[in-house]
Amino acid sequence: MKALVTGATGFIGNALCKHLSAHGHQVMRAVRRDATLSGDILFSQIDGATDWAEALTGCDAVVHLAARVHVMDDTAQDPLALYQATNTDATLNLARQAAQTGVKRFVYVSSIKVNGEGRDTPYRETDAAAPEGAYAISKWEAEQGLQRIAADTGLEVVILRPPLVYGPGVKANFQQLLRMVERGWPLPLGAIRNRRSFLYLGNFVDAIRLCIEHPAAAGQTFLLDDGQAVSTPELIRALSHAMGRPARLLAVPVKVLELAGTLLGKRAAVARLTGSLYVDSSAIRTRLGWTPPNTLQQGLAATVADWQTRARPDS
């Protein structure tokens, strides 16, 4: 199968292209820089007016990863418009051209934030969408537009809503957590009793490949995870174990953490550490027969091994 992958040089895209190629698929990489491989197509901008004709020629499937990612404390005057330009308008423009070109399947990587920011029960595909914030709204609007395009053209749309994705090369908050655990910092998180889902990069790209290949994936929306929700302290203990270091957890009451977060202007960050956000991923397992090839513990071990061997910032 010939597949076009957007966002191909990113954390997920790079791993996906290698995974698809290893399974015999021909990969076309849509990139905005570093067009170094055969089949790379360089785009200066991806928006609602991008011409995808060259990239889509002869393609059987599209995996759309390119997006304006969630920005904490966004200071843009109109953040929703910026997110919509990339995450909504650009997505629907690509899908329309894919349908016109004869592409059969369109796999869209959305976000669990379309379901919401977390709750004490697991999210399922059948739940009503409850996006909060510009990023999640733009993703939800793209999903709705894709459903309309699918109904009008017959394009086989598959929507995936992952939680936090981690793995070798992970950055942002997960990288910061790795750094703190490695340095043995005492963390005041021992009293937290939440549940959170995570998705290992190797599991994610395997699920994406299956959604390209499997006939029953057409028209479906799937929530994904490693199959095991853990608390924040359990995650830290697992990372500490993989590093061969003791977990230094202090049992500070959650109410105290929440108060500190409010006073320091870090309420959202504290909420992510203390709150629950987990998914029921049984639908993709039942309908497509998918089983994550890696457990959470295996994924964390691989992530830690990469973190300990590659060059990383001192700060």
Main-chain phi, psi angles of 276, to 5 degrees: -100, 140
Among the listed residues 83, 123, 135, 166, the single catalytic one is 135
Question: For 238, left (φ over 0), alpha (ψ -120 to 50), or beta?
Answer: alpha
3-state helix, strand, coil in the chain (%, to 5): 45, 15, 40
Q: 202 with 15: CB under 8 angstroms?
A: yes
278 counts as catalytic: no
CA dist 187 → 177, 180, 196, 227, 248 (Å): 10, 8, 18, 26, 6
E strand map for the chain: 2-6, 26-31, 40-42, 61-64, 105-109, 156-161, 164-166, 198-200, 221-223
Catalytic residues: 135
